[in-house]
Each structure stands twice: as C-alpha cells, then as structure tokens.
Amino acid sequence: MGMVVSNISINGSTAEIYFIDIPTEILSALRRIIIEEVPTMAVDNVLVLENNSILHDEVLAHRIAMIPFNSEKAIEKYNSPEKCVECLQCEGCYSRAYLEVSNEDSERKVVYAREIRTEDPEIAPAIPDIPIIVLGKGQKISMELELRLGRGKEHIKWSPVSISVLLSVPSIEYDLTSCSNLSECLKCISSYNEKLANQISEEKKGSMKLEKFQNTSLLRFCEEKTCSGCIKVNYLDNERILRFESSGSLSPQTILKISLEILREKLENLEKMISEIEGEA
C-alpha cells in the first residue's frame, strides 16, 4: 500500500489530517513548518505616545504584539519577512495601526483588540474581544503600531497556530475471558468511554483501532491497575494524525496549503543538493 492521506477534517479553526504509511520524519517536518514557517501579520514596532496606565510601556507593547491579525490578504500584498526584517522604510513591508483610548468618567474601562484602528482595512485583529488593559478613571493610552509579515521561527507571535501536534493512533486488544477482575475492569473502561466498555463487554475478545479516542491516558491506567491481562493498549506504527488549531490569522486550509508548498520546496532543494554532491563524487 502506498502513502495515503486517509481523511482531512476541518471544524472551525481546528484541522485533523489522517495519514497512513507516510514517514514520521516527513510528518514531523510538516508539523514544525506549520508552527515556524507559515507567515502571518503581527505588530513589530510600537511607538508609545502616552501611557499613564498601571502597565509599563514594554508590557503593554508585548500584549499588543501577541494579538493575531487577519493575514489572508496580507500574505499576498506585502513583501516576504526575509525582505523586510532588516528594512525599516521599505515599501510594501509595513502597515500602520493606531490605538488611542481614554477613560474620562468610568471607574474602570476595558480596552479590547477591536479598538485598534488599522490603515489597511483587510488587516484587523482576528479576535476582536481580546482584552488588552483595564484603564482606571483619568487614564489614557495612545500609540502607533507597525505591522509586518513574519514567521514563527523569528518570534512565536507570527506563528499561525496555537497548537500543532502529531498523534499516534491507538489500538486495543482485549480478552475478557481471562479477566479475573471483570466488573472493576469494565467500570474503569466505562469511565474512559462508556460505548467502548459496552462494545468490549459484548464481544469479549478481539481488537480495534481507537482513532476517535486519541487521549488514552486513562485507558492505560485501566490496563495497568484494574485490567491487567484483560486489555492491552498499543499504538500503530504506520498511522498518524496531524492536528493543528489556527490562532485566527489564517484559515486552516490556507495554513495547510502554504505549509505543504514550503515542505515541497525544501524537499526539492534537498534533492538538488544531493544530486550536486553525487555529481561531484
């Protein structure tokens, strides 16, 4: 059987891709590329014009820098991070934004990400309700922001995901005919998943994949404590699930598309380097 992408499931900001017979090294590289190399827009420079809040300028700037911004159009319009990282005045690198909020009358005022005004209407906070700071009465913040494309390997604020993990697919072998503590074993498995416990109880002996039950910590506890000799939890060598969750700056579809393009380019470059070395030998 050749390498297979068995299933791609996208639910809101979360994506899961089921791989069969694809080397773990390739999948691990894809996972790292998703975290570190897919570009997004984020605040790079902050000019604080006024701040009499309880937060120091540096803390406030850091909070704002960690806010994800919509980047679907930005990755097409703005120059790549490599062109802009050392260039402060280059055209096509930076977009400006502004944050100016004061609290004149209230005892407290929460400042949210949605109050950041961007010059480019296609770049805005991806999650408008992120709280930035609470201003007391008479307090004010005013600042100018510069945003540019960057990659997670430069700073995690540019990473398009909050998580990116490679999961093993568990399986279970069971034989209740030789189980000395059957009731306690089934009770333990039921606390993990009641449907699984009922199925095992009915079939008595067999095995199954548990691709829908990826967190098997409790099941392994049952195996060790109450189901010794009754069940055995294994992990398939040739099947993996890649799961990642977008921070909101890019859709899961865009993240997957760009990361695969980067992976292909890296593999092509590696193949070219190997061919050159072999040609010199």
Q: pLDDT tens digit string along 42-101?
A: 999 999 999 999 999 999 999 999 999 999 999 999 999 988 877 767 888 999 999 999
Q: Does the structure show a pLDDT above 80 at 280?
A: no
Mean pLDDT of the chain: 91
Q: pLDDT tens digit string along 134-189?
A: 999 999 999 999 999 999 999 999 999 999 999 888 999 998 887 888 889 899 99
Task: Please say whether the beta carbons of 270 and 44 come within 8 A.
Answer: no
Alpha carbon distances (Å) from 87 to 45, 147, 193 = 12, 13, 55
pTM: 0.85
For each of the domains in the chain, give its residue range(s) and CATH number, in order of start: 4-36+163-243 (no CATH), 41-158 (2.170.120.12)
Q: Does the structure show a pLDDT above 70 at 214?
A: no
Task: Please say whether the beta carbons of 217 and 192 come within 8 A.
Answer: no
Look up residue 15 and give its amino acid: A
